[in-house]
Chains A and B, each alone.
Chain A
């Protein structure tokens, strides 16, 4: 099987030829041709083709996880030998200012499923000073055991002592799976731990599952800027390590009645051995935008017309508890700071709802938001490319539509509150 070329669409731009990592494509008389021997159906070319001249529709299964399982069935899992001694699922519990990071609880939820599938126990590991309370939270969110390491050396996060301590505990207890949140901290720490343990690490996964026969963890993550899903396994080395994107796994129920064991452990790292010194922690001001963490984004483009007009969007955002976003054109015009820019050179976002208001949908913008769960486009031009990716499209003038939408949402939310949906009250 290989990618299929829709010859009529091909404009001979050669973008795919440059992109193909396997040299499977060539231009013949200005039209692309595929060498089926070389094509691995990775799909990199499909993603870059500006005219959709390449497709993978005939691929055996669109679901990479299923395809992954098919392939893994052919390999033997490492149930014997050294790797077979490793048992259990571990989740690294990240914390800041006395609170656990939400992603750690999400991971305990995901870890629970994996541990159940493997019939092993789920453990948390937490490092720091004065963090026993957070360790206890780990139990409430589903851990059977939490390993707690307290030491002044670990009081503040530093790569070296954290990685050394974790690596030695992993060697002692031998978990088969080790998960961390793909936060700034998690991304820094995971690479170091994986290297110390000489094992495999998949960064930024969005899906995790177990192939029962081989006990392998199927680690699925977007690659090539989100255009392809890759399912990766770590066959022979343990633990199988993965960082997982925050907010993709559902938050488990916190159960304050849950019982679990907290096991005190020691870190052998002494302050003299650590090269990194923390001089000062600088807190970003409250106005900093975390677009990539927002659930609802209300984004405006050139169509909004002026800085003052962004007030319409701000109102909608306030009613919904959303964050403002912008196209490059709006940032360029100075209507919003660059921290709000969504797209190729801005932030890549994946909120639950993305409002694209007065945004044409240039490809450089689309690559930064097209995987949003729901996209609502408001544009007066029915031909605007944004409508191609929109879940809901409204053709019309944003200055009439946005205030109406805002009002409608306001009433709806107010109605919910009246019915007793108190949890929304904070957002109005």
Chain B
């Protein structure tokens, strides 16, 4: 079962704008292990080989905050989604 299938069980009110911003993409090029790509439980982060940059599929974010701590240079600017947006846990 793919992680997307599990995320589909969640309720989201996805905002039009990302609440996650990579502040300095130059740092990602230097980052060896790219921990965001495997620490995030929702697989929000993915490394794009051809474009050499991190993609953030922010809609699936569970708002756990892990990425903020896993990023070695600390360049993930993570904020709570706006009020009313983001994940909406039902029977959470």
Contacts and interface: CB of A to CB of B under 8 A. Distances in A.
A116 interface: no
B66 to A, nearest CB: 20
Residue of A14, A306, A333, A385 with most chain B CB atoms under a 10 A cut-off = A333
A332 interface: yes
Interface stretch (B3-11, B67-75, B76-84): B3-11
B37 interface: no
A362 B14 contact: no
Nearest to A366: B8
Interface residues of B, number: 20
Nearest to A48: B9
A333 B16 contact: no
A263 B59 CA distance: 53
Contacts of A329: 55, 57
B30 to A, nearest CB: 22
Given A18-B91, A362-B2, A50 B57 contact: no
Contacts, number: 44
Interface string A292-324: 000000000000011000000000000000000
A363 B5 contact: yes
Interface residues of A, number: 21
Contact of B5 (A50, A305, A328): A50
A363 B59 contact: no
Given A50-B1, A305-B50, A364-B4, A14 B59 contact: no
A13 B90 CA distance: 13
Interface of A: 11, 13-15, 18, 48, 50-51, 305-306, 328-329, 332-333, 338, 344-345, 362-364, 385
25 contacts: A13-B6, A14-B91, A15-B9, A18-B90, A50-B1, A50-B5, A51-B1, A306-B50, A306-B51, A328-B59, A329-B55, A332-B55, A332-B57, A333-B51, A333-B55, A338-B16, A344-B14, A345-B12, A345-B59, A362-B2, A363-B4, A363-B5, A364-B4, A364-B8, A385-B2
